[in-house]
Chains A and B, each alone.
Chain A
């Protein structure tokens, strides 16, 4: 066997090395790549974006308003003029469903942001301080957890009187427990990590560590919980509207539209069909996206 200088040249040339290693990805990029592979989640995401877009610009493009009555045109079935038909006061159902999207979606988003704020701070503080504070704070959460929430949302709405702002308040103060538990669990495990000790040694304040290090790293579970909290809020609002505790007329969320549609089910089933479809599609889209996000973001599921 003959050896010469040529034999000792590195096999890997520049260039080939780069193609061998997988392009390095941050956690966020990796999660996004996993999410993109999940067809159902992407369908959900696109549907949600489409619904938000329709809710934002849809009412601007149409000529009529959601409260325009036309008593000559009552209970008309879907047609070229009125895509979803009209209701018992001759109001165009397509426009009302689009406006309903604005109300229902804003209830979902605002309520889950309230949950987020309360839950993240409560859970964050409990998890970060730990010890006795944590024990007392989490005991309170455990006790509140035993309360049948929906009953209390109903009770609050009876006391506060129906209306959009009051729905925000009632949903916001009722549904933060889950978020608080999840954030606390995350913080509790993250605060033992080396980078937190490193931050402490260079003299970062507790507040800075919580806001700049711990919370951004617990974003995964927080986003998942929020994605699943939005449809729950929409659902709860529809439920409240059904028992007469929703937003006040002439405003109409999907829940109000659906419960109006139920009363005329026998003669005009289309009046229930469209708002019901809108609720179901939105819920389905959020659930698909939430499940997909869980698979993509939750490191425990990544096998």
Chain B
């Protein structure tokens, strides 16, 4: 058990190191410096700027400097906005993205799990078909299409909800729905198939034979076990909400980290791209590690040889 946990933690750190290194060298492999696209910079000024950001140092020295700063959680300055650091940017905008993300995750759990459970209990009845059609739709319609559809109907035609910006609960409703659609669909499908599997198990028959009430069988025996595989979806779900936020925050003009990331891609603001990528990677790898560590506690049948079952 302990060996498994140490092994997983070590692997995650390895991934992180690999990611940071790959990211760093990829960003520096781009032809031309980050300032070459700037048209009206005199050569002397350009040289001074490059001096200031120490772009003349050999690559390995820049790498070591960057790693040294990373250990102190310093992601460096933004290339495009003078005087702004990547840390400031993340500190300002990430809380907004976090709120939106947590809201979306909550939404998809609250809708997805009951929908999937009901579909499994009423297998091949209309409830099942309706849920599955919606789940397939949720996976098939791109989030930006759903987002613009929601804006068109609820903000422009009906004028019920704000279409853009950030400031209070009403502003979060439309973006959260657009962001939650895909994870909700996945959770519903996952819950359904896992619930079907559990309901066919012998211990459910035993529980029935003992004369337990339907609700006790459902909640205590079936649903509790059916939700174990759903826990493993936390990692991919947060990754999907995160990348979804790039688009959704841009469409809804929400000043979150996702929109800043997209802007930095347009501007080719390399340190911001680098810093935010690393920040996101740490977040997702950390979440995946967390799930892997608590999973054995939830599911005592898992083996500790460092591999999950096929």
Contacts and interface: CB of A to CB of B under 8 A. Distances in A.
Interface string B106-120: 000000000000000
A274 B251 CA distance: 19
Contacts of A231: 140
A242 interface: yes
Interface stretch (A24-32, A52-60, A117-125, A145-153): A145-153
Contacts of A146: 11-12, 15, 284-285, 288
Main secondary structure of the interface of A (DSSP, over half): helix
A113 interface: no
A135 B145 CA distance: 42
A287 B14 contact: no
A151 B280 contact: yes
B277 to A, nearest CB: 5
B152 interface: yes
A259 B247 CA distance: 10
Given A147-B281, A245-B265, A284-B140, 6 more contacts: A148-B242, A148-B280, A158-B265, A262-B148, A265-B151, A291-B136
A156 B273 CA distance: 12
A143 interface: yes
Interface stretch (B24-32, B56-64, B68-76, B225-233): B24-32
A148 B284 contact: yes
A297 interface: no
A235 B136 contact: no
B281 A279 contact: no
Interface string A133-170: 00000000011001110111011101100000000000
A interface residue count range (under 10 / 10 to 19 / 20 to 34 / 35 or more): 35 or more
Contact of B152 (A155, A265, A291): A265
A143 B246 CA distance: 25
A235 B22 CA distance: 25
B191 interface: no
B29 A159 contact: yes
Interface in A186-243: 231, 235, 238-239, 242-243
A195 B143 CA distance: 48
A148 B281 CA distance: 7
Contact of B277 (A155, A245, A280): A155
Interface residues of B, number: 44
Contacts of A159: 26-27, 29-30
Interface of B: 11-12, 14-15, 18-19, 22-23, 26-27, 29-30, 136-137, 139-142, 144-145, 148-149, 151-152, 156, 239, 242-243, 246-247, 250-251, 262, 265-266, 268, 273, 277, 280-281, 284-285, 288, 310
Contacts of B26: 155-156, 159
In the complex, the 4 A-B pairs of residues with the closest C-beta atoms, listed nearest first: A283-B140, A284-B140, A276-B145, A146-B15
Interface of A: 142-143, 146-148, 150-152, 154-156, 158-159, 185, 231, 235, 238-239, 242-245, 258-259, 262, 265-266, 269, 272, 276, 279-280, 283-284, 287-288, 291
Contacts of B247: 239, 242-243
A284 B134 CA distance: 11
Contact of B273 (A158, A269, A284): A158
Which of A231, A243, A266, A288 has the most chain B CB atoms closer than 10 A to its own CB? A243
A180 to B, nearest CB: 14
Contacts of A235: 142
Given A238-B142, A243-B247, A280-B140, A142 B27 contact: no
Contacts of B266: 243-244
A231 B268 CA distance: 29
